[in-house]
Structure 1
């Protein structure tokens, strides 16, 4: 009688840097599905077809795993949204962030979902990492307000405007995920940006 033996499929060999990228992407997908607190090294191992010790060789403990995955999310935000916007003429930068952000949410929804979780996570070490990321993001958005309009504005006022853009982007992401039409999303962006790009009152 023939006996079938199931062979365990091994992951193909990869250079360490490529393997780490694969693990990071798998980890972010796990975060999006299971939450930051529910993801373990074994989840990444299963997703990538590698052993659990192999995952530990890249992320020696849970703290390193979480920190690396959130750092990757923050890096991707800058790489896909902030940096391309800053490369444009000053008067186009701020308005360019919305279409770049929506395109990123459509292409990499797990990254945006994890960012939303991260922003509302109150574990001290995770919150501290988010605050550092948010500070960089606020600074970058603040620089996008055109000098002609805001050259004499209070820096605190400019940073508050940047924070309002960040806050509204959470709902914009929900509109993308819910399949809201591009026309309605663009109208939402205009409602947000129109008052924020007006010069501050002299009163």
Structure 2
């Protein structure tokens, strides 16, 4: 005998649109105002954002979860760009996808040499886009720059362990508007600057 229908509608496919909500959900702790604006631009509710995050976490944690590289391809499609990046002596592939919320950025998955394990996953500047000019603390505004841009602008920046997955930190010194060098800790979510703590 066949099974009786459960009455539950089948889950809709998880899309690029949903994935952007996952990115926003993680950023809401630091910048609720910016997330609210982005949410309105996408035409979604807080409940939609939470539901997208719940479905993403279920996919990631499922005992039958596919490898991260396969998961990203299934959700985001074929990468817009594939680059080769050097990590020490190893050559790795970086897959880049566009994200409509940040037209000058791309979501990057950095693959291990085995091609299925993802070593890093974050937002980076699009290869053809010009990055911001970062000279003083005033230039370091939320969502304006990525981890690698800040690290290049204020060497030697020291990486810090993030407070949660998808979060990173950098410690460095940078001049304020008066030219006085200050010790700074920058916090990033999915590779995008969220906030500064100036000491």
TM-score after normalising by structure 2:
0.28
Which of the pair has more CA radius of gyration?
Answer: 1
TM-score after normalising by structure 1:
0.28
Question: Between Structure 1 and Structure 2, which shows a larger proportion of helix residues?
Answer: 1
User: 1 or 2 for the larger relative contact order (CA 8 Å, sep ≥6)?
Assistant: 1
